[in-house]
Chain A
Amino acid sequence: MTAMEQQPYQETPAESLLGYCRSCGRSVPAGEGRQWQGSLHCMDCIVKLSHASTEVSGLLDEQPVARRVPSGSAYDLRSAPPAVAPAGGRSPSPILALILGLIPGVGAVYNGQYAKGILHVVVFGGIISALGSGEAHGAEPVFGMLIALMGFYMPIEAFRTARAMERGEPVDEFSGLLPPGHSTGRSPAAGVVLIALGVVFLLQSLGFLRLNDLVRFWPVSLIAMGIYLLYRRVAEGGEDDAPSRRDGGFSGRQRPEDSLRPSTPGEESRSQPGDFPQPGVSSRSEEGGA
């Protein structure tokens, strides 16, 4: 008790406790806190932060947060903006995030998204070790493309996250490049793709399937993805009445059904999209065989 009194800061009684400051961790009594970037800060920290950014100093004139948000309630998870306060209380610079994003995981860490940074490192390292292990069995071009994809994805993602933070928009830790609410299970496509990939790789690694033979047809996946995107755009355009989109739609809508199906075996799908770059297919098949 005596040690408690010697501290310059007095503990707030539980009934008037609003929450805990995001920056310094001290308890905030009712009527003293301010909401900034979706989390509670005590007045000391707000004053400190206000020197760094004019956006925060506007908060000093605002009404304090009076109502206590019950922790662990539904309000916490759904309607509270899941903002991440960047380290130091200043919003990260998008350009610096872009540059740091070239190093796996560092861009996300710079934005204060530690879990995402670790995930990036693990994914990037996983791809590289899969390539280096020599177990790719002809899927090397796919892994190479994945590395290139990650190389572009990470800086751009870090840049967009930093820009959203700069604007004060809520930033979800795992939002990625997709708009928020996209990953709430509206479409099972991601899961189905994961399962399909898993089955293919499993059959391959257990020796039931020669991926060498299949890998030659990897450009088919690009074609299939393009057709799917076209189909989805056309379907969306059909819902709003956009006449210009709609007449482009019917020619596109007939294609997906008949050309998506034979994309796993090779022969028919190869002959069907004849107007697509044939040299790409043939050069790739030479690489796969070598």
Chain B
Amino acid sequence: MAYSPTAPEAARAITGPVLLILTGALFLVDYSGGYTVGQTWPLLLIAAGLGKVAEHLVSPPPPPKSPY
């Protein structure tokens, strides 16, 4: 492909679908009689946080001076 995303962009791009999958899984667990979504929703927070941290870990060191 002509355009290849940088590592942080890739991490960000993965986070969204993973959250969606996790949401589906939580509801599935709820309806099949396990933990309710009311109990398991913090997993979404944790997943989002992990995504953020991963984005930070794979990003190159910032430039010395911000362009903004």
Chain A: residues with CB nearer than 8 A to chain B? 70, 72-74, 133, 135, 179-181, 184-188, 190-202, 205-206
Contacts and interface: CB of A to CB of B under 8 A. Distances in A.
A95 B55 CA distance: 36
A133 B55 CA distance: 34
B45 A198 contact: yes
Interface size class of B (residues with CB under 8 A): 20 to 34
B45 A201 contact: yes
Contacts of A70: 2
A159 B62 CA distance: 30
Given A191-B55, A192-B49, 10 more contacts: A72-B2, A190-B52, A191-B51, A194-B49, A194-B52, A195-B50, A198-B44, A198-B48, A199-B46, A205-B38
Contacts, number: 81
Interface string B1-21: 011000010000000000000
Contacts of B68: 179-181
Contacts of B57: 188
Contacts of A179: 68
Interface of B: 2-3, 8, 35, 38-57, 59, 62, 66-68
B46 A74 contact: no
Nearest to B5: A77
Nearest to B58: A185
A179 B16 CA distance: 23
